[in-house]
Structure 1
Amino acid sequence: MAGGEGELRNVYMLGLVSFFTDFSSEMVFCLLPVYILGLPGGTIASLGLVEGTAEAVSYALRAVSGFFSDKFRKRKPFILLGYALSNIAKPLFAAAANVSQVMTIRVVERMGKGVRTAPRDALISASVPPGRRGEAFGLHRTLDQMGAIVGPLTATGVMVLLGWTVKDVFLLSLVPGTAALVVIFLGVKEIVGDSTREFRFLEGLREVARGDFLRLLVIVALFSLGAFNFSFILLNARLMGVGDPLIPVVYAVLNVTHTLVALPAGKLSDRIGRARTLGVGYLVFVASAGLLYVSPKAVPYAYLIAAVYGV
């Protein structure tokens, strides 16, 4: 029953959910690295610990959430729970008084991402024909990244024009976050029967252990060991002379390039394959890391590095 025209609305609805969630998230996360450094015990090392711990929890929960959503053949409850955890957690950063409290909130927020990601992606896959899945995920990612552009620009706007503080921005994130939950509740539809056979955990493990997929997991794991997230791009921008109220603009530039590439990359993956497209993405990341190392400490290069990293 996958891929009917009626179910195509799920791609757009889930894209809208991601738009509002990233609107909310990125107005917070573009300021969080600087906020952490201003707290007692806030260092670059503690920032890395916060982000690394939160991401580890997120990725671990994806397997668990995927298992249970397959077992119960339900996607929407897990999607709603995951987005609720994330969107309720983010305003709480305004009350954090030290790095430990920030880490706790960040872990809860990433738990939400871990819970929702696998069921959401499964529902998107079930909502379109196999030949259009790359396009569907590209469209979803484009809407997601549009929110990631609006969020940082909103943060800069209210700070520069209205004199709001970082904590005010954190509290404001509740508004688009609530909109995302409303769209899930009213707009996203469960597709009955998107998993047509009985789920067996051991069988699923055997499928994961298949040669091609196992090699992909190893490659992704090795890449992840050497990768760094956007927080360090933003801290580098600060070191290059970008003022704190304009740090979100650097992040917006990163997300603009990501948005421009998302849909074409999805279509490209339908034509040349997922593995080759993934390889191109990894090469561009290496290029951004090289720029980070060799670029002069000047403001224009902060925006250039962010743009390449976004690709």
Structure 2
Amino acid sequence: MLPAFLSNVLHASASALGLIEGLSDALIGVAKLVGGPLADDPRRRGRIAGGGYLGTALATGAIGLVTAVWQAGILRAIAWWSRGIRSPARDSLLASLAPPRAFGRAFGLERAGDNLGAVAGPLLAAGLVTWLGIRPALWFAFVPGIFAAVAITIAARQARRHDGVRRPIRLDFKGLRGAGLVRPLLPIAAFEFGNVAVTLLILRATQLLHSTGRSAAAAASLAIVIYAAHNAFGAVIAYLGGHWIDRAGPRLVFGAGAVVYVLAYAGFSIGPHSPWALLIAFSLAGAGIGFAETAESALVALLLPDRLRGSGFGVLGAVQALGDLISTVVVGVLYTTVSPAAGFGYAAAWMLASVLATLTGAFSTRPTVS
């Protein structure tokens, strides 16, 4: 709803939307890096995670109250900072609740829920906008976040340590390096440098569908429906990928995610005009992110002891955010100045590099040490 609210209600330009979204996405990476050491302390995890969900909910809902673009930008930044700082604490809580033999299934279920939310959320938002209008619909954005804050607080009670040990707040790079996290970050970084924002995929699909005679509105609507299928398929793959991780380990699953992304980008480079062909390309992209993100989280949980997991998830989140930001900017520039095929070819090259790095054994784990 944010683009429609900024453009139709506050009369903001596309550049203002791009600036707000770009800065907010950059803040997520910084917040994850800051939140990582905080999440190393089991006694803080519940408060950080619950507060992060609550902050995201209230700041997002408050956007519906603003009367100026700069106010919306500040609230969006607060929401995305809260979203970033809660992630390492949430993932550390999840790892503390699940046994190591079930880390894949635990993170696969979490990723599946995230993807299903990306299907149901826009559908609910569309209904609220039709019923109430854009501004009142935004007010209700805080409701799911309140439920999430309550749920994560209950989960934190189940995971709470009884030894009462308080751990220092510091980003222990030496400890992370000693635990073996540096090498797996190489294929992960290559993957993220090829992981472009899904908005570019939607743009490509919309343009291809529009070029066959459909109206701009019809093409955009169909592209969004296909995108919803992408999220639904990604949810299924994340869940199944979690089971695969617990049987075969995260390395094979991560490599499979990079491979299917290469196939997806090949489809977007070729530029099929058929909705069914675009659905296949979107589904492959959904499978790629479902496999890879689940494997990345399971890797950190398996590789690091509990005292370092918060920092590990924070570093992973920062690498993901930085890579995604750079990849989207570069692919967007190539898409505009050269051709869509050049942009998606660039992204596919990074995915191939990730596959090669994975085959060399860089993406590996060893048993967690307490």
Interval containing the TM-score (normalised by the shorter chain): 0.7 to 0.9
**C-alpha distance in structure 1 between counterparts of 2:153 and 2:168, whole Å:** 29
Q: Structure 2 stretches of 5 or more lacking a match?
A: 211-216, 288-370
Query: Which amino acid letter does the alignment assign opposite residue 115 of structure 2?
Result: Q
Deviates more, 1:130-139 or 1:297-306: 297-306
**Corresponding residue for 1:269?**
245
- Write the distance in 2 (CA, Å) between the matches of 1:156 and 1:34: 11
CA contact (8 A) 2:56 2:78 kept: yes
Structure 2 Cα separation of the partners of residues 106 and 40 of structure 1: 15
Q: Secondary structure at the match of 2:23?
A: helix
Are 1:253 and 2:229 an aligned pair? yes
Counterpart-to-counterpart distance in 2, 1:296 and 1:97:
42
Query: Does residue 1:208 correspond to 2:184, yes or no?
Result: no
- CA contact under 8 A between 2:52 and 2:83: conserved in structure 1? yes
Report the Cα offset of residue 278 of structure 1: 1.5
In the alignment, does 2:198 pair up with 1:230?
Answer: yes
2:29 maps to: 59
Quote how far apart the aligned CAs of 1:190 are: 4.9
Q: 2:119–2:232: 8 Å Cα contact kept in structure 1?
A: yes
* Corresponding residue number in structure 2 for 1:128: 98
| Pairing 1:149–2:89 present | no
Contact preservation (8 Å) 1:54, 1:106: yes
Return the letter of the residue paired with 1:281.
G
| Distance in 2 (alpha carbons) for counterparts of 1:90 and 1:133 | 31
- Deviation, 1:80, is 0.8
The amino acid across from 1:273 in the alignment is: G
Match of 1:23 in 2: none
> CA distance change for structure 1 residues 307 and 103 in 2, over 3 Å: closer, same or farther?
farther
After superposition, the Cα gap between the structure-2 partners of 1:203 and 1:95, relative to the gap in structure 1 and judged at 3 Å, is closer
Report the Cα offset of residue 118 of structure 1.
0.7
* Aligned mate of 1:177, from 117, 127, 145: 145
Q: Aligned pair in 2 of structure 1 residues 97, 291: CA closer, same or farther (>3 Å)?
A: farther
Q: Deviations over 1:51-84 (max 9, x none)?
A: 4432332122223212123246321100111101
Paired letter, 1:91: G
Describe how 1:28-67 pairs up with structure 2 within 5 A: 31-32=1-2, 39-43=11-15, 49-67=19-37
3-state secondary structure, aligned to 1:75? helix
- Cα distance change on mapping 1:137 and 1:177 into 2, 3 Å: same
Contact 1:126/1:194 (8 A) holds in 2: no
Task: Give the structure 1 partner of residue 255 of structure 2.
Answer: 279
Q: Is the 8 A contact 1:156 1:248 kept in 2?
A: no
2:83 is the alignment partner of 1:113 = yes
Report the Cα offset of residue 295 of structure 1. Answer: 1.8
Are 1:152 and 1:249, in contact at CA under 8 Å, matched by a contact in 2?
no
**1:132–1:270 CA contact under 8 A, matched in 2:** yes
Q: Supply the AA of the counterpart residue of 1:213.
A: L
Q: Kindly tell me: are residues 286 and 263 of structure 1, through their superposed partners in 2, closer, same or farther at Cα, counting changes over 3 Å?
A: same
Cα distance change of structure 1 residues 158 and 200 upon mapping to structure 2, 3 Å threshold: closer
Q: Which moved more, 1:185-194 or 1:136-145?
A: 185-194
Residue in structure 2 matched with residue 18 of structure 1 by the alignment: none
Gaps of 5+ in 1: 1-30
- Aligned-residue offset at 1:36: 6.0
Structure 1 position 146, deviation (Å): 2.5
* Aligned-residue identity in percent: 25
Q: Deviations over 1:236-257 (max 9, x none)?
A: 3433346455665333212101
Contact 1:152 1:251 in 2 (8 A): no
Cα displacement string for residues 11-46 of structure 1 (whole angstroms, at most 9, x for unaligned residues): xxxxxxxxxxxxxxxxxxxx5456667653305xx6
Could you tell me whether the CA contact under 8 Å between 1:138 and 1:265 is conserved in 2? yes
* Offset at residue 126 of structure 1 (A): 0.8
Q: Which range moves more in the overlay, 267-276 or 299-308?
A: 299-308
User: What residue is the counterpart of 1:295 in the other structure?
Assistant: 271
Q: How much has 1:275 moved relative to structure 2?
A: 2.4
SS in 2 for 1:76: helix
SS at match of 1:66: helix
Give a deviation string over 1:274-294, Cα, whole Å, max 9, x none.
222112112222322222221
Q: Which amino acid aligns with 2:282?
A: A
Which sits farther off after the overlay, 96-105 or 136-145? 96-105
After superposition, the Cα gap between the structure-2 partners of 1:186 and 1:214, relative to the gap in structure 1 and judged at 3 Å, is closer
Which of 155, 161, 178 in structure 2 is aligned with 1:193? 161
- Structure 1 residues 137 and 299, CA gap change in structure 2 (3 angstroms): same
1:233 partner amino acid? L
Residue of structure 2 in register with 1:15 after alignment = none
